[in-house]
């Protein structure tokens, strides 16, 4: 038994002061980090309700037709779960009773996520590596250290006659989607990134961030410019329900979209819309679809938020897999730009859909992340490789 008489009061006070100081530092980091959207009143310490999760809404895996795949894909659907690590997938698998749509994806590899100048990447450099096949410094959007723009797989697909698209549950000008369409020295240049959309002929994009297009500091309304280029511009997915002709821009929020439990099945519907519109192109298509908020939940170390976002992504993956199994010419890839949170599972139950988690970080980590593949060319994604190799594998499979 601890003998309090033998403990120096000064040491006790020092320990308490240090703990409070570290808590204040952690809270200040979250409140001042522009990459992490803020949650009203949220503190970066966890109650039991923030560390545990009981899934009350389990779902079944989609049933897939027996596919006959082409030798090479005509279409690629690339999902990026921002911040998604192996443990995130394990946790989601547990709370959904041992089944995810990801279970259909039998070809699995690991991506090493380092950036050019850091062992631990940020989303700008992580997204750029996947999008362009080159590692850049943290914070850069598809630009090398000398300021030269690097073409992305989206740009190259467009140049080769394929339809292209972007979908995100964040602001569409946020780091990951931006890496596929923009060229800027800093990820924080949201209005400049939005302007870069007009420099492409992207066929469809769906996400938040209307303010970066229509409520800008320079007074320019880029939605008018989009319309002049022939885009149908919608301000919700519901508005776009009857439209299926490209080019199309669908803004789902002024800034970031809300969390999974407030935005409903937005990501599933956006995935369906993207496939509906882009698959009309006889030359095929490339689309990147991001589950953006897995990262934010992991930064905040909030397990229910995190798992809700992972399961939301998995449901959208199910939509893509159903299409790919029927189509036979579509490669579906699910990966991540980095892991966030240093997530560990301390307890759980497949039967009860329960998980208890702990976190070693409120930031990104340097561990490898999973790569799941399904469809023609999926076997190329086995093994361990650099994040840049994802670009090169897609580029090779497209025959560019």
pTM of the shown model:
0.90
- Residue 56 pLDDT exceeds 50: yes
Under a CB-based contact definition with an 8 Å cutoff, are residues 160 and 177 in contact?
no
pLDDT digits 0-9 by tens, 340-382: 999 999 999 999 999 999 999 999 999 999 999 999 999 999 9
> Could you give the CA distance from residue 129 to residue 349 in angstroms, rounded to a whole number?
36
- Residue 22 pLDDT exceeds 80: no
pLDDT digits 0-9 by tens, 224-277: 999 999 999 999 999 999 999 999 999 999 999 999 999 999 999 999 999 999
Locate all alpha helices (DSSP H) within the chain, ordered by sequence: 9-32, 48-51, 86-95, 123-132, 153-159, 175-181, 190-197, 210-214, 222-228, 260-263, 266-278, 293-299, 303-327, 388-398
Q: Residue 357's closest CA among 94, 83, 26, 110?
A: 94
pLDDT value at position 67?
86
Can you tell me the mean pLDDT for 18-26?
41
**Where exactly are the structural domains of the chain?**
54-398
Under a CB-based contact definition with an 8 Å cutoff, are residues 387 and 109 in contact?
no
- Residue 25 pLDDT exceeds 90: no
49 three-state secondary structure = helix
Under a CB-based contact definition with an 8 Å cutoff, are residues 194 and 292 in contact?
no
* 3 Cβ neighbours under 8 A, 6+ residues apart: none
> Could you give the CA distance from residue 394 to residue 286 in angstroms, rounded to a whole number?
10
Positions marked active-site: 123
pLDDT value at position 23?
42
71 three-state secondary structure = coil
pLDDT digits 0-9 by tens, 167-218: 999 999 999 999 999 999 999 999 999 999 999 999 999 999 999 999 999 9
Under a CB-based contact definition with an 8 Å cutoff, are residues 52 and 354 in contact?
yes
* 32 Cβ neighbours under 8 A, 6+ residues apart: none
pLDDT value at position 9?
42
| CATH number of this structure's domain 54-398 | 3.40.720.10
> Could you give the CA distance from residue 83 to residue 291 in angstroms, rounded to a whole number?
9
Under a CB-based contact definition with an 8 Å cutoff, are residues 289 and 74 in contact?
no
- DSSP string for residues in 168-185: EEEETTSHHHHHHH--BS
Question: Strand locations in 19-74, DSSP E?
Answer: 52-54
Percent of the chain with pLDDT over 90: 87
Rounded to 10°, the helix 266-278/303-327 angle is 20
> Could you give the CA distance from residue 231 to residue 228 in angstroms, rounded to a whole number?
7
- Residue 96 pLDDT exceeds 80: yes
Cβ burial, residue 20 (10 Å; 0-12/13-18/19+): exposed
Angle among Cα 265, 267, 270 to the nearest 5 degrees reads 110
- DSSP string for residues in 149-209: B---HHHHHHHTT-EEEEEEEEETTSHHHHHHH--BS-TT-HHHHHHHHTTS--SEEEEE-
Assign residue 353 a region (left: φ > 0; alpha: ψ between -120 and 50; beta: otherwise). Answer: left
DSSP label at residue 62: P
Structure tokens at 57: 């809404």
> Could you give the CA distance from residue 342 to residue 283 in angstroms, rounded to a whole number?
41
Q: What's the residue count for the chain?
A: 400
Under a CB-based contact definition with an 8 Å cutoff, are residues 122 and 187 in contact?
yes
Rg (CA), the chain: 21
């Amino acid at each position: 038994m601890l003998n309090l008489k033998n403990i120096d009061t000064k040491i006790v006070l020092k320990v308490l002061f240090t703990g409070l100081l570290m808590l204040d530092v952690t809270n200040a980091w979250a409140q001042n980090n522009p990459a992490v959207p803020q949650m009203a009143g949220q503190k970066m310490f966890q109650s039991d309700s923030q560390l545990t999760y009981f899934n009350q809404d389990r779902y079944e895996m989609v049933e897939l037709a027996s596919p006959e795949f082409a030798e090479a894909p005509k279409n690629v659907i690339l999902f990026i779960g921002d911040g998604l690590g192996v443990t995130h997938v394990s946790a989601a698998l547990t709370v959904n009773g041992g089944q995810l749509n990801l279970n259909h994806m039998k070809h699995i590899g690991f991506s090493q996520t380092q950036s050019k100048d850091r062992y631990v990447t940020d989303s700008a450099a992580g997204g750029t590596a996947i999008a362009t096949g080159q590692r850049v410094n943290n914070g850069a959007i598809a630009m090398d250290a000398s300021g030269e723009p690097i073409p992305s797989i989206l740009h190259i697909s467009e140049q080769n006659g394929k339809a292209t698209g972007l979908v995100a549950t964040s602001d569409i000008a946020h780091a990951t989607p931006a890496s596929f369409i923009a060229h800027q020295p800093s990820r924080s240049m949201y209005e400049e990134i939005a302007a870069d959309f007009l420099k492409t002929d992207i066929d469809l994009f769906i996400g938040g961030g209307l303010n970066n297009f229509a409520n800008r500091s320079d007074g320019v309304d880029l939605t008018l410019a989009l319309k002049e280029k022939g885009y149908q511009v919608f301000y919700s997915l519901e508005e776009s329900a009857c439209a299926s002709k490209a080019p199309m821009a669908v803004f789902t929020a002024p800034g970031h979209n809300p969390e999974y439990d407030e935005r409903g099945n937005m990501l599933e519907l956006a995935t369906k819309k993207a496939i509906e519109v882009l698959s009309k192109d006889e030359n095929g298509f490339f689309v990147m679809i991001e589950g953006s908020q897995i990262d934010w939940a992991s930064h905040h170390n909030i397990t229910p938020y995190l798992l809700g976002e992972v399961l939301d992504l998995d449901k959208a993956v199910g939509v893509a897999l159903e299409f790919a199994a029927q189509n036979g010419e579509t490669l579906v890839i699910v990966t991540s730009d980095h892991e966030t949170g240093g997530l560990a599972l301390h307890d759980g139950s497949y039967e009860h859909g329960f998980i208890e988690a702990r976190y070693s970080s409120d930031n990104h980590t340097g561990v490898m992340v999973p790569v799941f593949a399904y469809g023609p060319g999926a076997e190329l994604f086995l093994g361990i490789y650099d994040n840049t190799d994802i670009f090169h594998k897609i580029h090779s499979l497209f025959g560019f």
